[in-house]
Amino acid sequence: MIKLIASDMDGTLLNKDGTIHERNISAIKKAIEKGIIFVPATGRANNTIPSQIFEHFPIRYNLSSNGAAIYDRHENKFIYKNCMDTETVLKLIEYVSSYNVIIEVYINGNGYFSDKLIDNFEEYNINPSFINIYKNIKIPTANITEIVTQNPNDIEKINIPWIKPDVRSILLENLKKDWNDKVYITSSLNTNIEICGKTANKGDGLTNLCKLLNIKPEEVIVFGDNFNDLEMLQFAGISVVMENGEEEIKNIADFVTLPNTEGGVGYAIEKYCL
């Protein structure tokens, strides 16, 4: 019997414009009424999770920063952290800066980003729904390294967003060659690279949450679409990947559901939970 549903946000539960398909809303509400716990599991920083998630559903726990943090919304505090050490983060920032990319760091639930992005949204071809997040929620800074040193050993994630394809392929190859044994390298979009501590991922976060709640893997269903969902899909008793997901991720799924734009999360919840 399923006791917990964990779902990725972007490309899975959410449409491209940040809205939630009505089929998803209806099915999740019915599952919650049955006593099933619903847990958003995202690569986003905690404070940038879309507010409509909490408006539609009674959420107590959520995973953020690719599982590097678990937040208890009833207690208003983080109950688990798996952060990066300051020295590693500073070396990584120096390493990727030579590629002239935008750098973000996620700290204590907030996303800090290089302020040079503010006047260059069009140049980076950023989705309008994300521009709104940069303007209203994330925090611009002229000095990323200063933010890191002011928050020692509390960096949940480094995000390198909106990378031009030719730069991304080279940077990703070099990061995996030079850093793969030191950090966890993944992505949630074909325009970004995400870096966390070596043992931090959504699977680790979900494992620790399930231990806290005394829930077994076989009592969990997980939804995802991209590489940063891999470990939590492998953890779950039932792994569901969206039709719009990456082929490599679909290949490890127990079930490939409808696309996110057609309420694929809701369709699979109806199949397995209701």
Domain of residue 46, CATH code: 3.40.50.1000
User: Are 9 and 143 in the same domain?
Assistant: no
For residue 14, what pLDDT is reported? 96
Q: Are residues 47 and 176 in the same domain?
A: no
The count of structural domains within the chain is 2
Whether 41 and 71 map to the same domain: the answer is yes
Question: Under DSSP, is residue 118 helix (H, G, I), strand (E, B) or coil?
Answer: coil
Same domain, 169 and 135: yes
The pLDDT, as a whole number, for residue 26 is 98
CA 55 from centre of chain = 19
Q: Which is it for strands 104-107 and 77-81: parallel, antiparallel or unpaired?
A: unpaired
Please say which residue of 197, 212, 227 terminates a domain.
Answer: 197
What's the token pair of residue 254? 């127990």
Q: Do residues 21 and 72 share a domain? A: yes
Instruction: Give me the sheet containing 77-81, strands edge to edge.
Output: 61-64, 69-72, 77-81
Can you read off the two tokens belonging to residue 34? 């049955």
| 205 and 73 assigned to the same domain | yes
> Which CATH number do you get for residue 91?
3.30.1240.10
Q: Please check whether residues 120 and 192 belong to one and the same domain.
A: yes
Q: What are phi and psi of 93, to 5 degrees?
A: -60, -45
Last residue of a domain, one of 170, 197, 224: 197
Q: Is 158 found in the same domain as 227?
A: no
CB 34 within 8 A of CB 45: no
Divide the 274 residues of the chain into consecutive groups of 10 and give the mean pLDDT of each group: 97 93 98 98 96 95 98 98 96 94 96 88 81 91 95 96 93 96 94 97 98 98 98 98 97 98 98 97
Contact 9, 49 (CB under 8 A): yes
What's the pLDDT at 196?
98
User: What domain range is 77 assigned to?
Assistant: 4-81+201-272
Q: Which residue has the tokens 């394809």?
A: 165
**Contact partners, residue 222, CB within 8 Å, separation at least 6:** 5, 6, 7, 41, 206, 229, 232, 233, 235, 236, 238, 239, 240
Choosing from 173, 197, 221, the residue where a domain stops is: 197
Q: Are residues 94 and 157 in the same domain?
A: yes
Task: Say whether both 24 and 47 belong to one domain.
Answer: yes
Is the whole-model pTM more than 0.75?
A: yes
Tally of CA atoms within 13 A in the half-sphere of 163 that contains its CB: 26
Residues 103, 178, single domain; the answer is yes
- Domain check: are 131 and 261 in the same one? no
Q: Give the side-chain half-sphere CA count within 13 A for 14.
A: 18
Question: What is the tens place of the pLDDT at every residue in 32-64?
Answer: 999 999 999 999 999 999 999 999 999 999 999
Q: pLDDT at position 92, please? A: 97
